[in-house]
Amino acid sequence: MNYKVDVCVVGAGPGGALLAYLLAKKNVSVLLLEQHAAVGKAFRGEHLNEEGEAILKEHGLFEKIEQLGLLRMEN
């Protein structure tokens, strides 16, 4: 398979996925590669910290993730 893109991001963890999303939003053609077929919740943690929440809010992603079932930490 041949892909012609401006940027290839290897790894769809939080860092790679957000980078690919932000580049795509800027109309940069991106190929995001991930070695695993599924992203297991068990691996990526149980708690979204304040900084993570702020980054997701900054990019308009927090509400979408909340809809998928986020348990808010109140204190």
Ligand X SMILES: Cc1cc2nc3c(=O)[nH]c(=O)nc-3n(C[C@H](O)[C@H](O)[C@H](O)COP(=O)(O)OP(=O)(O)OC[C@H]3O[C@@H](n4cnc5c(N)ncnc54)[C@H](O)[C@@H]3O)c2cc1C
Asked if 21 touches ligand X (CB under 6 A), the answer is: no
Q: How far is residue 72's CA from residue 75's CA, in Å, rounded to a whole number? A: 9
List the one residue from 7, 41, 49, 59 that touches ligand X (CB under 6 A): 49
Regarding 33 and contact with ligand X (CB under 6 A), the answer is yes
27 or 37: CB nearest ligand X: 37
Q: Which two tokens stand for residue 59?
A: 């990019």
CA distances from 54 to 19, 28, 40 (A): 16, 24, 23
Contacting positions for ligand X (CB under 6 A): 10-16, 33-36, 44-47, 49, 52
